[in-house]
Amino acid sequence: MITGNDDLVGTTLGTCTIIKRIGQGGMSTVYVAHQAHPARNVAVKVLRPRPGRNLTDHNTFLARFRREADIVARLEHINIIPIFEYGEQNQLAYLVMPYLSGGSLSQVLEREGRFPLDQAMNYVQQAAAALDYAHTRNVIHRDLKPGNFLIYPDGRLVLADFGIARIMGNPSEGSTLTMHGAFLGTPAYMAPEMFRGEPVDHLTDIYALGIVLFEMLSGVIPFRGENAYVVMNKHILQPLPSLHTKDFTIPLTVDAVLQRATAKRREDRYTSAGALAQDLQLAIKGFPHEGIDRVPARGTPTASFAEGDYRFGQTQNESFDILTNESSDYGPEAVTSSNKHVQASSIGSSLPQNRQRSWSILLKTLPLVALLIAGLIGLRIAGVFAGSFQPPPTEQAKTVIQQYYADINNQDYHAAYALLSPNFQKSLSYTTFSNGYAQDQRNVLTFNSITQNADGSVTAMTTLQVFKRDSTTNTYNWTARVVQQPDGSWKIDSASFKPL
C-alpha cells in the first residue's frame, strides 16, 4: 500500500505512469505522467497526505478534491482547464489534466519580471471570459492568483485549481470545506470580506483579479507582511498603491481601473470581470478593438470613467508573497495580443455635384470653410505645444530621487533598483544593493541644491539622515547624478555618500 506520494515516480495510477514531479502546493503534488490510452503526456494532480494529519482533516481535503473534479467537469470553456479523469487508488486521490510544459502565469512573471500593458490586457481579457462563464453558472473560484492560471503554447490562458471554489445557491455544495483557524485562500490576493468571514460572491473574484493585474503590471504584489494577519489588515485598511507614480508609462486611467476593481466595499467594484476587462482596454487603448464583447459605441465612456471614479492609492508599493494554499505551476509562455489599427475620420465637405450651381453660393461658403481650416490649424498647433510640454530636467530628476527613497522606505527594493540606470546596475548587483539597506528603518532626505549640467545630466546635493533598526542615526552628504535615458525616462546614474 502507498502511504505517501513524495516517491511516486514510476508508479501507475489508473492508466497514467508518473514520470516526474513538476509542482507542489499546500494539499497536493502535480506530476507529469504518460497516459497509456490514449497515448499522451498528461499532468496528474495527487492529493498529498501529510504526516500527523488526522482523519477528519484528510477527509475534508479529500472532499474538496472530489468537489474540484465535479465542479470543473461541468465547466466547459476554452479558458478553463478540463479534467480528463478522476480516480482513487491505494488511499490516493488524483486528477488527470492536460500537461502544459511552459509554466504557469506565476512562472512566466518570475522569468519576465512584469508584463507590457498589451500583454497584461490580453491575459485579463481571457481570465475575464473564464470568470464570467463560471460566475453565470454560480461558481466562485475564491483562490485567483498567477499560479492558478496556466498557459497553452499558443498563448491561451486557462483557469485552474477549483479546489476551494464555492457553488452559490446550493447550501450543501457551497459549504465551507476548511480546517479550524485556516485561511480559505491565499492572503496576498484575498478580498477584505474573506478576511472578515463575510459571505463571498463573484465580486470576491473580481477583487483578486485586480490584484493579479497589479502584479502583472508591476512585478510585485501590493500588500506584504511578516504574517497573514499583517497582510489581512493592509487589504482591509490600505488603498492600492498607484502604479502611475512608479512608472509614468502606465496611464492614470489604468490606476482608476485597478482602484475600482479592488475597492474595499464590494458594491463599489465592477459588476463583472468582463466590465473590468472592457475598462482596462479603454484605459490602455482609448478605443475598443477585437476581443471584447459588450463594448459601448466609440466615444461613449464606461460608467467607471463617466462617474469620475478616480480613487488613486497612496504611493507605497509593498510586495511579498507570504502564504500559498495550492499551485499547479505548469504552462507555456504567453504571446501578446496584436493591436487593431483604426482609421481616423476626416472632416470636410463634398464638392457640389451640380456644375451649374451659382458662384455666389460657393463664395458665401468660402469664408466659413476658411474659418474652419484656421480653427483646426490653431487647435493642431496648440495640441503640439501642449503635448510637448515636459517639466524641467531638474524637477524630473528630483521626482526620481524622491520616488527612490520612498521605495527604500517601503522596502520595495526591486522598484528602487529599477530607478538606477543600466550603467549603474552593471557596477552594483541587486543582492549587494538590497543588502545595503537591510538595516535601515527610515531615510529622510533634504535637498540642498539641484542643477543641470552642460551634458544635460542633473546633479542633486542632499543631506540624508538614516535611522537604523538598532536606534542609531547616521547623517550624510548624498550626491546623485541623474541622467535621461534613451526612452525619455530619468534614472540615477551614480551616487556618493560622505559622512557628516
Residue 118 in this model has a pLDDT that exceeds 60: yes
Q: Do 274 and 412 have their domain in common?
A: no
**Cell 476554452 belongs to residue:** 78
State the pLDDT at residue 378: 55
Q: Do 85 and 110 have their domain in common?
A: no
Residue 30 in this model has a pLDDT that exceeds 50: yes
Q: Where a domain ends, among 255, 273, 306?
A: 306
Residue 387 in this model has a pLDDT that exceeds 80: no
Q: Is-contact 278 303, C-beta < 8 A?
A: no
Mean pLDDT of the chain: 76
**What CATH number is attached to the domain comprising 162?**
1.10.510.10
Q: What's the average model confidence in pLDDT over 41-53?
A: 74
Our answer to whether residue 143 is catalytic in this structure is: yes
State the pLDDT at residue 22: 84
Residue 131 in this model has a pLDDT that exceeds 90: yes
Cell numbers for 123, please give them: 491575459
**211 residue type, one letter:** I
Q: What's the average model confidence in pLDDT over 486-491?
A: 88
Q: Do 256 and 122 have their domain in common?
A: yes
pLDDT band for position 459 (cuts 50, 70, 90):
very high
Of the CA atoms within 13 Å of residue 227, those in its CB half-sphere come to 1
Q: Do 60 and 118 have their domain in common?
A: no
Q: What's the average model confidence in pLDDT over 178-195?
A: 73
Q: What's the average model confidence in pLDDT over 192-206?
A: 91
pLDDT band for position 406 (cuts 50, 70, 90):
confident
58 C-beta neighbours (distance < 10 Å), count: 15
Residue 364 lies in a domain: no
Candidate from 125-134, 372-381, 404-413, 490-499 with smallest mean pLDDT: 372-381
Tally of structural domains, the chain:
3
Question: Which H/E stretch holds residue 458?
Answer: strand 458-468
Q: What's the average model confidence in pLDDT over 208-218?
A: 97
Residue 50: partners with Cβ closer than 8 Å, 6 or more residues away: none
- Per-residue pLDDT tens over the stretch 274-328: 999 999 999 998 744 333 333 333 233 333 332 223 222 222 333 333 333 333 3
User: CB burial class (10 A; 0-12, 13-18, 19+) of residue 486?
Assistant: exposed
Q: Do 116 and 255 have their domain in common?
A: yes
Residue 23 lies in a domain: yes
- Choose between 227 and 372: higher pLDDT: 227
Residue 243 lies in a domain: yes
- Choose between 312 and 154: higher pLDDT: 154
Question: Which H/E stretch holds residue 93?
Answer: strand 92-98
pLDDT band for position 273 (cuts 50, 70, 90):
very high
- Choose between 67 and 353: higher pLDDT: 67
Please give the biggest Cα pair distance in the chain. 103
Q: Where a domain ends, among 274, 306, 338?
A: 306
**Active-site entry in 132, 143, 279, 321:** 143
State the pLDDT at residue 255: 95
Residue 36: domain span: 12-98
pLDDT-above-90 percentage for the chain: 37
Of the CA atoms within 13 Å of residue 36, those in its CB half-sphere come to 6
Q: Do 277 and 248 have their domain in common?
A: yes
